[in-house]
Structure 1
Amino acid sequence: MKRAIFCIIGLSFSISMHSYAGSATGTLNVSATVVPSCIINTSPTGAVTNAALNFGQIDSLTNDFKRDTSAGGTQISVLCNNSTAWQVSLDGGQYASQSQRRMGNGGSEFIPYNLYSDSGYSKAIGIGTKDLAGTGTGNLQSLNVYGLISAGTPIPSAGTYNDTVTMTITY
C-alpha cells in the first residue's frame, strides 16, 4: 500500500514538473446578434405573470365605479429590447357585445365596463386598437389600465362576474 502511494506521488511530481518548449497565441472571436423582441406580462426574470383589474365588491352604481391596475390589481408589464417600438392592443374579452366590453357571470347577466389609458378616464382603449404604445428600454416597463363601470348601470344578480381580455404586443 505504501509503495503504491509513493508511486502515485512520484508520478504526480513527474507530470507537474514537465517542461514546455514554447508558446503561441491566438484569438477567440465572440459575438451575438440581438434581434428585436418583446414580451408582455412578464417579470424582470422572464417569468410570465397575469395583469389584473379588480373592481372589488359592488353594492351600488349610483356613481361611476373606477379602478386601475395599480390599485385594484396588477399592472401590465412590457419587456422589449432597448429602442424597440411597441404597441399593445386589447381585444373585447369573452363577453363583448359590439364595442362594449362586459364581465359575465357564466350565465346570461353582464356588467358593462370600459378601459382607459389615462387616470382622467378620457382616452378609451378601443377593442383591437393599439392605444398603448412606447419604446423599449431593455428594462421592464409597467403600464396602468383604468377601468370604469358607469353610474346608472343596472346591477345584476349577486355573484362573481369576470372577463378575460387578451392583450397582443406588436413590435
Structure 2
Amino acid sequence: MIRRFKSRYGAVPVLLLAALSPFQLAYAQTVTGTIDATITLVAACAVNGDTATSNVDFGSLDFGSVSTFFTSTDAQVDGNGSGNISVQCSPGSDATITIDSGANDAAVAGGGRALANGSVYIPYDIYSDAGFSTVLNNGSTLSVSGDGTAQTVPIYGRAVGVTGLSPGTYTDTISVTLTF
C-alpha cells in the first residue's frame, strides 16, 4: 500500500518524496571477511605419561628388603607400573636418554654408584640389559625412536653386598636427561 499525503501540489507518493529528499534513507550494508586460525605444534615427549619438562619421575629402582648379609640383589627400573620406563615422542623427534651422576657417586671403592645410609654405602651399577653386561656409566645414552608410539626403555640394577652393613634404608638419586 502506498501512502499519500496532501500537499499544495497534490497527493505525492511518500516514496517519491523520499527519493527527492536531500536526506537518503539508510540501507543495510554487507561486509564480508575472514578469520585466520593457526596452531603451531612443537616436538614433545612424554615420560611415563608425563609431558612435564622438569622434575619428571623416570621411575624407581627398588632392590627390596634383603638381609644385611646379602651377596647381590637385582632390580629393574619401574617407570610405569610394568617394569620399564615408557617414552613417547612426536613423530620425527628421535630422543636420547642420558644417564647422569648419582648423589653418592665415587663414595665406594672403584668410584661407581652407591646407595647411602648416612656414611655407610652399598655399591651398585645400572645396566641396559637383563644379562647385566652393559653398564650405564655417567654420560651413557639410550636411544628412543620418535615415531609417535610409546617406547619401552628397560634399565636394570645390581647391588653388591659388603661386610659391616647396618640395617636401614639406603638410597641414591640418579639424574636423567631426555633430549629430543
- TM-score normalized by the length of structure 1: 0.69
Equivalent residue, structure 1, for 2:132: 121
In 1, the alpha carbon distance for the partners of 2:93 and 2:58 equals 22
Aligned partner (choices 116, 119, 127) of residue 104 of structure 1: 116
For residues 51 and 93 of structure 1, what CA distance do their matches in structure 2 show? 14
Q: Residue 21 of structure 2 aligns with which residue?
A: none
Distance 1:119 1:23, change over 3 A: farther
Which amino acid is the alignment partner of residue 152 of structure 2? S
The aligned amino acid for 1:58 is V
Q: CA RMSD in A?
A: 2.9
8 Å contact kept, 1:92–1:99 = no
Match of 1:167 among 155, 168, 176: 176
State how many pairs are aligned.
145
Following TM superposition, by how much is the alpha carbon of 1:144 offset from its aligned partner in structure 2, in angstroms? 1.8
* % identical aligned pairs: 33
Q: Is there any run of 5+ residues in structure 1 with no aligned partner, and where?
A: 1-20
Matches within 5 A, 1:15-164: 28-39=35-46, 41-43=47-49, 46=51, 48-59=56-67, 60-62=69-71, 64-70=72-78, 75-97=84-106, 99-105=111-117, 107-130=118-141, 132-150=142-160, 153-154=162-163, 156-164=165-173
Larger radius of gyration: 2
- Secondary structure of the 2:101 match is coil
TM norm structure 2: 0.66
Q: Which runs of 5+ in 2 are unaligned?
A: 1-27
Larger relative contact order (CA 8 Å, sep ≥ 6)? 1
Q: Distance in 2 between matches of 1:93 and 1:117?
A: 16
Separation in structure 1 between the aligned mates of residue 102 and residue 133 of structure 2, nearest angstrom: 21
SS at match of 1:118: coil
Q: Is the 8 A contact 2:74 2:158 kept in 1?
A: yes
Matched letter for residue 144 of structure 1: P
